[in-house]
């Protein structure tokens, strides 16, 4: 394992968590971390929860979030889940280099699955010249998500100061994949052992995945859970969640399923490699990250 990749298996399926870097969400572009991530929580509740994590709320002015994509080898074909942010910031755009370090060239990717249309997930679809970064791949996205970004709905509903960034990225990166795109609107097996299903709330057409082999399962929750504290307090939503009520319902459904199935879980914004398990102990749920090798 190098610093930007982590290899693991789900049954007979080989997987690689690959970092695209990280981004700090900080004022003035974003609120301080607590009100950014936990919009509807009372200050005293947040402060107590942060103390349990050895975080002082008044000092947590910025949230530095990892961006962790997944490459999955199923049936001899490489499937990539999300593409990172590319050149969104000097600290992002490391995905292709990390994949190459793991022995995977951009041309080796056979399918790209997009959990949703935010810049940190679709920014790496194209190169600086507008060409496809994964020239041999087909693409998969939820139909509602595609329509939200390409049919004018985003322009009508997004009214914050970052909407131009979100919409601009979608306009630049989504049209080039149109001719190779499979749109899904229900639970669908898109490759052997890989099933996608709608998980709306963060965005209207946000999509999650389950990868299964034998009796082992990996659930990729995308941005349905942004921070480990959201596992413990699933009713707390973030400023980035488009439909908070639906987001909370989706999150609880995913966390409950992960516990029921004993699934390994991947969360795009969790500390690298974004992998762990959900347990029930005291709080409704608790995040137990995988143990990384030392030395």
- pLDDT of 152 over the 80 cut: yes
Full DSSP string of 138-202: EEEEEHHHHHHHHSSHHHHH--STTHHHHHHHHHHHSGGGGGGEEEE-S-EEEETTEEEEE--SS
- pLDDT tier at 157, thresholds 50, 70, 90: confident
**Torsion angle (degrees, nearest 10) of CA 213, 218, 220, 221:** 130
- pLDDT of 162 over the 90 cut: no
Q: Are 173 and 122 in contact (CB under 8 A)?
A: yes
Tens digits of residue pLDDT in 264-292: 999 999 999 999 999 987 678 999 999 98
**What are the residue boundaries of the structural domains of the chain, listed by start?**
5-289
Would you state the pLDDT for residue 13?
98
Would you state the pLDDT for residue 75?
86
Question: Which of 113, 106, 115, 98 is closest to 136 using CA atoms?
Answer: 106
Please return the burial class of 223, using the count of CB atoms within 10 Å of its CB with bins 0-12, 13-18 and 19+: buried
Task: Domain 5-289: give its CATH code.
Answer: 3.60.15.10
Tens digits of residue pLDDT in 227-250: 999 999 999 999 999 999 999 999
Q: What mean pLDDT, rounded, does the chain reach?
A: 95
The DSSP element (H or E) to which 77 belongs, if any, is: strand 77-81
- What is the C-alpha separation between 231 and 53, in angstroms, rounded? 13
Q: Are 193 and 74 in contact (CB under 8 A)?
A: yes
- pLDDT tier at 295, thresholds 50, 70, 90: low
Tens digits of residue pLDDT in 47-71: 999 999 999 989 999 999 999 999 9
- pLDDT of 161 over the 80 cut: no
Would you state the pLDDT for residue 156?
85
Token output for 220: 């990729």
- pLDDT tier at 262, thresholds 50, 70, 90: very high
Would you state the pLDDT for residue 1?
54
Q: Are 128 and 87 in contact (CB under 8 A)?
A: yes
By three-state DSSP, how is residue 261 classified? helix
- pLDDT average, residue stretch 29-43: 96
Strands, E, within 11-48: which ranges? 13-25
């Amino acid at each position: 394992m190098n610093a930007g990749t982590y290899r693991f298996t789900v049954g007979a399926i080989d997987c690689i968590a690959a970092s695209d870097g990280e981004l700090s969400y900080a004022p003035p572009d974003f609120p301080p971390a607590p009100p950014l991530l936990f919009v509807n929580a009372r200050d005293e509740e947040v402060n107590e929860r942060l103390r349990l994590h050895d975080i002082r709320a008044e000092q947590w002015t910025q949230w530095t979030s990892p961006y962790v994509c997944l490459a999955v080898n199923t049936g001899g074909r490489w499937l990539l889940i999300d593409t990172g942010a590319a050149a969104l910031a000097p600290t992002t755009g490391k995905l292709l280099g990390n994949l190459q370090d793991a022995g995977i060239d951009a041309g080796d990717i056979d399918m790209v699955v997009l959990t949703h249309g935010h810049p940190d997930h679709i920014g790496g679809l194209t190169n600086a010249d507008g060409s496809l970064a994964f020239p041999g791949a087909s693409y998969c996205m939820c139909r509602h998500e595609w329509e939200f970004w390409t049919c004018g709905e985003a322009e009508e509903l997004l009214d914050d100061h970052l909407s131009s960034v979100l919409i601009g990225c979608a306009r630049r990166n989504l049209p080039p994949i149109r001719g190779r795109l499979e749109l899904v609107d229900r639970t669908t097996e898109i490759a052997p052992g890989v099933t996608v299903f709608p998980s709306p709330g963060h965005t209207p057409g946000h999509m999650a995945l389950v990868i299964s082999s034998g009796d082992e399962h990996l659930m990729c929750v995308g941005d349905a859970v942004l921070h480990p504290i959201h596992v413990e307090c699933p009713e707390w939503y973030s400023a980035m969640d488009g439909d908070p009520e639906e987001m909370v319902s989706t999150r609880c459904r995913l966390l409950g399923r992960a516990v029921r199935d004993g699934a390994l879980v991947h969360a795009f914004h969790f500390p690298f490699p974004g992998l762990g398990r959900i347990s029930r102990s005291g709080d409704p749920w608790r995040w137990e990250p995988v143990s990384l090798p030392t030395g």
